[in-house]
Amino acid sequence: MTQLDIRAILDHLPHRYPFLLVDRVLELEKNHRILAIKNVTMNEPYFVGHFPHQPVMPGVLQIEALAQAAGILSFQTMNRVSDAESIYYFVGIDNARFKRPVVPGDQLHLEVRIQRVSRGVWKYKGVASVDGQLAAEADLMCALRSLPPPGAAAAADSGEAAP
């Protein structure tokens, strides 16, 4: 089983502070599942406003953390890393449920399993937990898409051919 530290995670995801939400990969089985962690600290920028009197990690960021773990799993499965020519989009979410608050000091365990891959769309089941208690769960969908070469969008807007 593969483990990844933060340097390897940075190779597999384009996200950076303050939006990188995976700190370590504990287990990774290509084509199957990943178990990663997000250490939730009081230093997270969203706690300033969510909520000052009772800090709680926003549910949408718990789901984003699951999607980022899914991205690492998919890149590892494809034997690829993140690059400037493509982007891995979060394209769908179903059945999201939130069962307990995630607060500073918690370690959020992110388990994502590949359900299927069809026509370039990856479907996963994601479960986030703290101390063995379910915090959030959702069915996720992501897709890898090619990006236009630099300058292609500007050339298209001006009617000129890209170099």
Catalytic residues: 50
List the structure tokens of 94: 């179903």
Q: pLDDT of 47-59, one tens digit each? A: 999 999 999 999 9
- Res. 163: pLDDT tops 80: no
Radius of gyration of the chain (CA): 17
User: Domain extents for the chain?
Assistant: 2-158
Q: Which residues pair with 92 in a beta bridge?
A: 141
Q: What is the pTM of this model?
A: 0.91
60 CB-near residues (< 8 Å, 6+ apart): none
Residue pair 54/28 in contact (Cβ under 8 Å)? The answer is no
Count, in order, helices (H) and strands (E) of the chain.
3, 7
CATH code of domain 2-158: 3.10.129.10
